[in-house]
Amino acid sequence: MRNHTVKAAALVAAGALLLSACSTNKEESPGGGGDNQASCDQSKGTLVVGVIVPLSGDLEALGKGISQSAQLAVDQANTECKVPGYKLALDAQDDQRDPTIGAQAATKLASEESIVGVVGTLNSSVAQSVAPVLAQNNILQISPANTNDTLTKGEDYLNSPKRQWKTYFRTCTVDSLQGPYAANYLVGQAGKKKIAIVTNGLTYGEGLADTFTVQAEKKGAEIVTRQKVGENDTDFSGVISAIKPFNPDAVYFGGEYPQAGPLSKQLASAGINVPVMGGDGIFDKTFIELGGKEGDLATSVGAPTDELPSAKAFIDAYNKEFEEGSFGAYGAFSYDATNAIIASLAETIGDGEWSADKRDALLEAAQKYSAEGATGQISFDENGDSTNKVLTVYQVKGTDWASVETGEFEE
Amino acid sequence: MTTLLQQIANGLVLGATIGLIAVGYTMVYGIIQLINFAHGEVFMVGAFGGLAVWRFVLPEGMKEDWYVALPLMLVGGVVVSVTIAMLMERFAYRPLRNAPRLAPLITALGVSIALQEAVRIWFPDADRSQSFPRVFINTQVKIGPVEIPATGLLLIATAILLGLLVQLYVNKTRMGRAMRATSQDRDTARLMGVNPDRVIVLTFVIGAALAGIAGVMYGMHVQTLGVRAGFQTGIFAFTAAVLGGIGSLPGAVIGAFIIGLVERLGGQYLPGGTAYAYVWVFVVLILVLVFRPQGLFGESEKVRA
Amino acid sequence: MSRLSSLVPAALGRPLSAVGSVLLLVAAMLPWATFLLNDGAYPDKATLQFFDAPFALTGYRWHVLLFGVAALVITFVPLPGKGRALRALGFGGLAISVISAGFILSEGGGLGAITAADGATAFGSIVGILGGVALVLGGSAIGIGDIPHWPDSPFGLTGWAQRLLAWAVLIVSFVALLWLVSETLTAGGTSGVSNPYAGPIFLAFLGMAVGVLAALHGIGFTRWLTSLSERHRAFSIIVLVLCAAALPFTDAGTQYWMTVAGTIGIYAATAIGLNVVVGLAGLLDLGYVAFMGIGAFVAANLSGSAASKLGITLPFPIAAVIAAVIVGIIGAIVGSPTLRVRGDYLAIVTLAFGEIFSKSAQNNIGDLTGGANAISNIPPIAVGDLGFNEPITLLGTKLPPGVLYYFLITLLVGLVMAVFANLKNSRMGRAWIAIREDEDVARAMGIKTGQAKILAFLVGATLAGLAGAVFAHKLGTASYDAYSFLQSVTLLAAVILGGMGSIPGAVLGASLLFVLPEKLREFDNYRLLFFGLALILIMRFRPQGMVPDRIRRAEFAGETAEGKPIEEVQEQLVVEHELDVPKGGKA
């Protein structure tokens, strides 16, 4: 009876959905580009740089920043003929922030011979399932955002570091540097002795808070309390009231700016007017828009961006190329990671042809890679970690971050 | 002691937010026995509606005067949430009114996911957290040792006031009587000249209006907004409605205050600290459902299906 | 009857179908796009291809051609269920045409892309759409009657001859199914930069496959096949498992598809487990994925991973059994509130349980879950020195990495299917169904409802725990965020989409929900939006699922177990009652 009209309606609706989806897809279609690169020799074919990040759901914005920054590096390589004879293309895959889907995306990328390297992932938990797949297929992976130490140096990374996957590298910093560096500054330079810690329960924040705690206590500060907020919480009054009786003179937050900003604001209005400090996850202008207050602190890897010409060049180029979506916290690292893949590839291929046999040589080239990137000097140590151990402390001044101290972490 | 009082105050503010949402849950469930999972999303779109008014409608000069900006934003929030709720009722739930119980529940989950994603994709910049203006008086109010932001007091007052108003409406007016009749027996009510469709729409509208108001006020209180704001608050609100005895309006509001207190005090005093605050709410829910399924204020029913 | 058929008088049905068939034939031979797509020949450049290369039609145009021929033949051949078959072919042709037209439109930007532009004409898609519509209308006008019943023993065969025929039919059908699965997986190739057309090609292929299956269903073939496979259950399961095991030897035998197929298998096994709870016993569980998660964490802790604090290393089979037992016990505990709460309330209890699990796992409860860092580096399952993640050579064929997991998971799914099928037809299964239909009546009939319900939870949880244990090893990590509320909803959606209480339904549902996002990665930002809308639409238009269980269908669609509309049957019953001829029939 009415089943039939109903089916027809469903079909029409499905068709309409499909149409609307297709039409928005067009601009992003990777087939579209390629006009302005006519000057380069691209006769030998197309090589692919993969990206594995969340492109749907909550973390889509950060993922998009990573994938667009990688796109920028690829486009620049094409216009500047960085890889002779080849055209480069970017293949960004969604991992849905799920280890399962991430592993599938990795297998999918790995199944193509033209894949030369993968930029990703965003989440350390996803990296744990992506890295083994890529390692099995001998594919270079450079993460712009995984800060978990165990990914490069194994479970017992403090006492007996042991490289996990020979294909895994990263351009970002690790928790065991960033947390302690922040502790040195906050306890040493800023002289804070009673510190409260708040985390959001995710890998990044917990790892940062753990390493911060160890170093801060070593430096003689007291961690008066450690509290946890839910990853989607916005009302922090419970945590704030729990902290208040301890009268801390600083709060260290393990998490990202969407929560750090409101937390800082709510702390201040509840009368806890002390600086909030965090890692590179809160080093974003949005932190200040969301409530970050004068005097709040953040660490970020590399020399201050305003002193690095390469950083400024990246930001300008990015804003010129993409109208939509900021590069976010990890865009610069992604740009550097992609450039590392491209440069190592050019080195490996030389005048020859690409084949899957060259993947070993590519890994070696990446291991030896060294160049100035948007986040500073980029090269990798024997575990695949970035050798860029320079960190900068930034402080909120007015409506922007200003660098206050730059250096390397020392015990 | 100060901490205890402060956490109680925090719990009451949280409870007020949850309570405004729980009223919608309990009314809808009372009338069509539907767990409207998407009701938390109505709260979220309401908040975005208020934000849209602030960003795109209010001229610069008016943003400073809260007595102009706040009512306009509340109207915006209510209009958006009511519209969404009516569309939801008309196109997603009404066709399923005689379907087996499982169908509308799954639909509600679908609506919830679709709404979150639609806002995230199409509202400008909603793919990241937004800052929400505090259009109300921006001071801390001191009551003895306890400090609450003025917005928190406003939330508590609003929850109690609106809760009472809805209770009065349902108990004293003609339409309210129609609602109660429909919830007891839809077919008999129809025979008595009640138009159940109208009553059901009205129920959704009242629930959505309260959720929309809650959305704007909560956004203003915490000064930030994201598309995931509705889901957890929504589940808390449902828990509150069940705790209070589903179908009972005072029960929903009181249940909400209890949930708020459990969340805040549990995080403060129970083992595990704030990391487990969220867990205690669900533990309470399970205990209530197992040992007093009719809730604190609900009438005992022989069969709950 | 149908509003569609009332559009066209019945007498016009056959001519209209003929016109539709011919239009499809013509469409297949017409050019489809007025321009050359920038990355190769998706539809080949506009030419009247039939005349220069009649057999060179490939891809979706070949399918449209086949549909046209088939429809033409069916139109003029006496065949029961003709109307349904024609309508199905029409919908299939329409789907293929609409999808291709949509894609070409979006690539070409403007109606000129599928009509006439730059001196080229390309009316293929429009003619195809018209043909599809004509077939749908024609088929409806011919009449959408009952699905014809085929005799169980055709040609009067008996004894061994009948059995051999049945076996032959089953083998051929399952091999065809294997082929279809392999083709569906590989349709359009692996999407990516080098292959931007994978999405639309895959969708068009899916349209074709669904059209063919619906047509076969319309003439009563699938129902006959179902009844044959039920009659020869053991044989069917063996053949099915063998066919599944043959998948790696087809085109789909790449590392990627083996990984995806393995994941689908895991979720399918879990979905069947959930089907025991939701489909059979009617107990809605919104936190089911937690059981899978606990299974994964138990296995991870016993695997000897460096991240596990227990430091116990057990061989996988023992660890899996322990995981299944522990999860089964927890399942019984979680199920115990069912003694007191029902329906929606139970759903909320299970949701609460799922949330408690996820939060506790995130907080590294008892040092057992690794917290936010997860338990990583779980070694792969190994037999001797052979890790399951390594490639192997079997029967002279080199099989990709991941294929051993695929075999293991196929066995697991087979096992779970067997358990489910036996339970469903057992005393306990009937008790569950009785509880689902009406708990009070079931109790009055002497069923121990409390026991039965807890047993349902126990069985379902055990199956999920087992699946989770395999999953942890396959993935190499056990992390709380892989077992979120959304996963529970997805699993539930798989069961409902497939058809509650039905085994092929659960497998089909899980396959679709996990293959579609893989195949349509281009739409990733819209994935969840589509998922939400799909849930709404399914519940609105086909709540009984794609392969409904017979009794369920009766409930959801207002049809009897034989597929007749209930109103009709009721009228018939009234008439029969008046004639005083009592006759069975479930109203």
Q: How confident is the model at residue B112 (pLDDT cuts 50, 70, 90)?
A: very high
Which amino acid does the sequence have at A283?
Answer: F
Q: How confident is the model at residue C564 (pLDDT cuts 50, 70, 90)?
A: low
* CB contact (8 A) between residue C341 and residue B115: no
- Residue C50 has a pLDDT of 42
Q: Considering CB atoms only, which of A21, A128, A202 is closest to C477?
A: A128
Q: Can you name the residues that pair with B95 across neighbouring β-strands?
A: none
Length of chain C: 587
B86-95 tens-digit pLDDT: 999 999 999 9
Q: With contact defined as beta carbons under 8 Å apart, do B212 and B46 qualify?
A: yes
* CB contact (8 A) between residue A19 and residue C106: yes
Q: Give the span between the Cα atoms of A50 and A28, in whole angstroms.
A: 15
The listed CATH number (3.30.590.20, 3.40.50.720, 3.40.50.2300, 3.40.50.920) that belongs to domain A8-173+308-379: 3.40.50.2300
Q: Does A164 touch chain C (CB under 8 A)?
A: yes
Asked whether the whole model's pTM tops 0.80, one would answer yes
* CB contact (8 A) between residue C372 and residue A109: no
Instruction: Classify burial at C100, counting beta carbons within 10 Å of its beta carbon; exposed 0-12, middle 13-18, buried 19 or more.
Output: buried
**Portion of chain B with pLDDT greater than 90, in percent:** 53
Q: With contact defined as beta carbons under 8 Å apart, do C306 and A154 qualify?
A: yes
C491-524 tens-digit pLDDT: 998 988 888 888 888 888 888 888 888 777 777 7
Dihedral angle over CA of C425, C428, C432, C435, nearest 10: 130
Give the CA diameter of chain B. 59
Is a pLDDT exceeding 90 seen at residue B138? Answer: no
Q: With contact defined as beta carbons under 8 Å apart, do A21 and C526 qualify?
A: yes
To which residue do tokens 């045409």 refer?
C97
A8-173+308-379 and A176-301+391-407: same fold?
yes
Distance of CA C139 to the CA centre of its chain: 26
SS3 for A236?
A: coil
Residues 297-356 of C with CB under 8 A from B: 337, 340-345, 347-349, 351-353, 355-356
* CB contact (8 A) between residue A31 and residue C363: no
- Residue A30 has a pLDDT of 38
Which of B40, B211, B55, B186 is CA-nearest to residue B109?
A: B40
Q: Give the span between the Cα atoms of B47 and C156, in whole angstroms.
A: 71
Q: Give the span between the Cα atoms of C140 and C55, in whole angstroms.
A: 32
* CB contact (8 A) between residue A8 and residue C523: no
- Provide the shortest C-alpha distance from residue C318 to chain A (in Å): 24
Is a pLDDT exceeding 80 seen at residue B299? Answer: no
* CB contact (8 A) between residue C38 and residue A13: no
Higher pLDDT pick, C45 / A142: A142
Give C451's contacts (C-beta < 8 A, 6+ positions apart): none
* CB contact (8 A) between residue A286 and residue B129: yes
Is a pLDDT exceeding 70 seen at residue C573? Answer: no
Which residues of B lie closer than 8 Å to C, measured between beta carbons? 33, 35, 92, 95-96, 99-107, 109-118, 121, 235, 238-239, 242, 272, 275-276, 278-279, 282-283, 285-286, 289-291, 293, 303-305
- Residue A400 has a pLDDT of 87
Q: Considering CB atoms only, which of A201, A228, A262 is closest to B224?
A: A262
C67-109 tens-digit pLDDT: 888 888 888 888 777 888 888 888 988 888 888 888 877 777 6
Residues 218-277 of A with CB under 8 A from C: 228
* CB contact (8 A) between residue A90 and residue C193: yes
Is a pLDDT exceeding 90 seen at residue B102? Answer: no
- Residue A99 has a pLDDT of 86
Sign of CA dihedral A135, A137, A140, A141: negative
Is a pLDDT exceeding 50 seen at residue C452? Answer: yes
- Provide the shortest C-alpha distance from residue B52 to chain C (in Å): 22
Please tell me the CATH code under which domain B2-291 is placed.
1.10.3470
Higher pLDDT pick, C193 / C442: C442
Mean pLDDT, rounded, of chain B:
89
* CB contact (8 A) between residue B115 and residue C532: yes
- Residue A36 has a pLDDT of 46
Long-range contacts of B164-170 (CB under 8 A, 24+ apart): B166/B23, B166/B27, B166/B206, B166/B210, B166/B249, B167/B249, B167/B250, B169/B206, B170/B27, B170/B249
HSE-CB of C8 using CA atoms within 13 angstroms:
21
Q: What is the mean pLDDT of residues C466-475?
A: 92
* CB contact (8 A) between residue C489 and residue B272: no
Q: Give the span between the Cα atoms of C230 and C499, in whole angstroms.
A: 17
- Sorted by where each begins, the domain ranges of chain A are 8-173+308-379, 176-301+391-407
SS3 for C325?
A: helix
Is a pLDDT exceeding 70 seen at residue C191? Answer: no
Residues of B in contact with C352 (CB under 8 A): 239, 282-283, 285-286
CATH topology of domain A176-301+391-407: Rossmann fold (3.40.50)
Pairing of the two strands A250-254 and A276-278: parallel
Q: Considering CB atoms only, which of A13, A46, A56 is closest to C528?
A: A56
C265-289 tens-digit pLDDT: 999 999 999 999 988 888 888 889 9
Alpha helices by DSSP H, chain B? 2-32, 39-52, 66-87, 102-122, 150-172, 174-184, 186-191, 196-222, 229-244, 249-269, 277-291
Q: Give the span between the Cα atoms of C532 and C389, in whole angstroms.
A: 34
SS3 for B122?
A: helix
Q: How confident is the model at residue C119 (pLDDT cuts 50, 70, 90)?
A: low
Give C58's contacts (C-beta < 8 A, 6+ positions apart): none
* CB contact (8 A) between residue B276 and residue C363: yes
Higher pLDDT pick, C69 / B210: B210
Q: Most A CBs within 10 Å: which of B222, B233, B264, B270, as the mutation test of the A interface?
A: B222
Is a pLDDT exceeding 60 seen at residue C47? Answer: no
- Residue C464 has a pLDDT of 94
A232-247 tens-digit pLDDT: 888 899 999 999 999 9
- Provide the shortest C-alpha distance from residue B41 to chain C (in Å): 13
Q: How confident is the model at residue C217 (pLDDT cuts 50, 70, 90)?
A: confident
Is a pLDDT exceeding 90 seen at residue B143? Answer: no
Q: Does C158 touch chain A (CB under 8 A)?
A: no
- Residue C454 has a pLDDT of 92
- Residue B216 has a pLDDT of 95
- Sorted by where each begins, the domain ranges of chain B are 2-291
Q: Does C441 touch chain A (CB under 8 A)?
A: no
Alpha helices by DSSP H, C77-123? 82-108
Residues of B in contact with A238 (CB under 8 A): 7, 10-11, 14, 263-264, 267-268, 274, 277
Main-chain phi, psi angles of A370, to 5 degrees: -155, 125
Task: Give me the DSSP letters along C495-561.
Answer: HHHH-TT-HHHHHHHHHHHHHHHHHTGGGGGGHHHHHHHHHHHHHHH-TT-SS--HHHHHHHSSB-T
- Residue C274 has a pLDDT of 92
Alpha helices by DSSP H, C341-484? 343-362, 403-424, 427-437, 439-444, 449-475
Q: Give the span between the Cα atoms of A291 and A268, in whole angstroms.
A: 10
- Residue A33 has a pLDDT of 41
Residue numbers of chain A with a pLDDT score lower than 70: 1-38, 305-306
Residues of C in contact with B101 (CB under 8 A): 343-344
* CB contact (8 A) between residue A100 and residue C482: yes
* CB contact (8 A) between residue A266 and residue B222: yes
Angle, alpha carbons C117-C118-C124 (nearest 5°):
40
